[in-house]
Amino acid sequence: MNARIVASPNYSPNSHKFLELPPEIYELYENPSQNENAYLYIKGSSKDHAYLCTRNKTYHVRKQLHSNSLLLLKPAISLETSTDTNMDMEIEQEVRELEITDIIHSVYELILCIPNLEKLKDLLGTTPYKGPEEEKRYKGEKFYSWEELDDLLQASEEEIKCALEKHYALEVDGYWRFVETQYLYDVLVLILSAANIENMSLENMSFSRCAEALADDGIPSFITKHCLTCFADVIDYSNRLDPIVKLSKDKICSFIGLHLLRTEGKAWIYSDFIANWVIKIPDQWESILSFDLLKGNAIKEYNQQKECEYIELFAASDLSTDPEKRFRELFTFRSRWTLDDIRPFLDDIVDDSFQKLEDLLPKYTKQLKDENGQTLYQLKTTYFQ
């Protein structure tokens, strides 16, 4: 088809944006009724980078400039008058035109990425739930509903729920709250004590019976049930009115060990730490205690001068989710890392689908060998200059 390209009388520069969709996003857009994850939402304030979220994934919206301009055209038909010399008369005829409605110099692309959840601590960190008697202290404080969190956090719905679960958060009177670590620890200790006194099996514990046992200590039943859920290995909901829970040895021992490191706020001689850790767990679980339960939350290293191992709190959850900031924080804490030591502190920001560990390490670090021939990683100072 032959057509003329002309400027539209409604030409409005920079009035359109082009967004290039990955195949999985295109499928959601084309067949929303056939996919339960059909949910697209661009999140971010005027001061934030824009993120596009589906039900379970987050994409960074990145602008790509093009050296060649793209013309956005709209078909149009105009009537023109011409003269027929044979008949000596004027004839109106249709002339096909393409009108330029905008000129595009850039395209936005979607890059699958880790969710931006650093704001979650700012939103919920100042009003943790500490028990019913402490609630009066929060008079006038701002609390956040699920709808508000979903709107403010640049992450997908499932990723936000996962982050809330990792922080032991729960919904109280319609608002999401962190549970203070010390309060959660105290409730857990009461549960373990009640199980011992009431002869309740830690692998077959009734929600209602446990809640009843803790009621005399002033623990609301919803908190007892929440604590049991946080540290459950398996929950049997066949009896919906009174579920049965099998508590997780690993989850409980890990939480108690981490709490011990946090409350003492010091580096421990490893053998002393193990001795204190053993005292705080059920007797039958002593054999499972190992540093592996604390990987990603602590550092263990040998002190040459004192000729013994030390363990110190260092939690990945306290570090930035931005890779560049994360590497700065890691190498500020320790100048050199082995692969086995650094891996647990990067697992939460890597994913084989978009950001692999083997690609991330060479970007920010360089390799060297120690006197024993072991491979170590050191920060690329030139990258950060």
312: helix, strand or coil = strand
Separation of alpha carbons 114 and 355, rounded Å: 9
Does residue 352 or residue 57 have the better pLDDT? 57
Q: Per residue in 255-307, pLDDT tens?
A: 999 999 999 888 999 999 999 999 999 988 999 999 999 999 999 998 888 88
pLDDT value at residue 265: 80
Q: Which residue has the tokens 């009843």?
A: 212
Neighbours of 99 (CB within 10 A): 19
pLDDT value at residue 383: 61
Domain spans of the chain, in order of start = 4-113, 119-177, 181-247, 263-318, 319-385
pLDDT at 361 over 80: yes
What's the predicted TM-score (pTM) here? 0.84
**Percent of the chain having pLDDT more than 70?**
92
Q: Per residue in 98-138, pLDDT tens?
A: 888 888 888 889 999 888 898 999 999 999 999 999 999 99
Helices (H), the chain: 23-30, 119-124, 146-152, 157-166, 181-197, 207-215, 221-230, 249-264, 270-279, 323-333, 339-342, 357-364
